[in-house]
Amino acid sequence: MILFNYFFWTIYRIWFYLISSISWIILFPLLFVFSLKESWYPKVFKLATLWSNIVLFLMGMYWRINQTPILEKGKNYMFISNHTSMLDIMCMISIFKDHPFVFVGKAELSKIPFFGVIYKRACILVDRSSPESRKSVFFYTQRRLADGLSICIYPEGGVPDPSVALDKFKKGAFKIAIEHQIPIVCLTFLDNKKRFPFAFFSGKPGRLRVKYHKPQSTFGLTQSEVSITSDRFRNLILEDLS
C-alpha cells in the first residue's frame, strides 16, 4: 500500500507540472501580447483564469465557497489569504474571475521559463531582502490601483513549515490597504494544504473548501493601526483553521 501511495503521488505530481506547463505554453502567445500594455491587463487576467480552471479541473479539484463574493465592479480591494499550496494562486484567480487583481509576489519566480516572462510583466515583484524593493511595492501598487485593479498579497510572506498552521503576518498588505483606504477581503483555504501541499510525495483530488469573509472597510484607519488590523485578520483565519 505504501509503495502504491508513493507511485500515485509521483504520477500525480508529474501530471500537475505537465498540465500547468503545457496549458501555460499554449496560452503563452496571447498572454505575451496582452502583457505588452498595462491597460490590457484584464485580458491577461481572463487568460490566467482560463489556465487556473483548466489545471484545477484536470487535477480533479473543485473549490466550494461558503457564500458567493459580492464585490463592487471597478472598486479596489486588497485580497488576502493563508498560503499553503500552489493551488492557492489558482483558486484565488478562479474565485475572483470577474474582479481583476494583481499579485504581489517573489521576484525570484520571474526566472521560471515562460511563466516568468508574463509574471514579471503582470505582477508586482518584491525582493524581501531589499528595503528598496519593498518600498517600490507601494509605488507600483498605487499605479495599479489607479488603473482600477485590486491587489492580492499573502501576508505570511511565503509558505510556512508544514507543522505551522499559520505563520506570522507581514504588515505590507495592511499598510497598503490603509494607505489607500481600500477594503480588505479575506479568504481562508481550508483544504489546499491537505489536497496539494508543497511536499512532493503528497496530494489527492477532491473538494477545496473556501471560507469567504465580507469586505472589511479600512476607512478612517491610520498607519498606527496596521498591527492591530494585521492581528485581527490573522486571528480570523486562525479561527477558521481551528
Helix (H) or strand (E) holding 137: helix 131-146
The answer to whether 187 and 88 have CB atoms below 8 angstroms apart is no
pTM for the complete prediction? 0.93
> So what's the pLDDT on residue 209?
98
Share of the chain above pLDDT 70, in %: 100
In terms of Cα–Cα distance, which of 21, 47, 52, 51 is closest to 34?
A: 47
**C-alpha triplet 152, 155, 160: angle, nearest 5°:** 120
> So what's the pLDDT on residue 117?
85
In the chain, where are the structural domains located? 2-241
Q: Is the pLDDT of residue 164 over 80?
A: yes
> So what's the pLDDT on residue 195?
96
Task: Please report the sign of the dihedral spanned by the C-alpha atoms of residue 111, residue 114, residue 116, residue 117.
Answer: positive
Question: What pLDDT, in 10s, does the model give residues 191-234?
Answer: 999 999 988 999 999 999 999 999 999 999 999 999 999 999 99
In this structure, which CATH number among 3.40.1130, 1.10.3470, 2.60.40, 1.10.260 belongs to the domain 2-241?
Answer: 3.40.1130
Average pLDDT taken over every residue of the chain = 93
Mean pLDDT of 53-78: 96
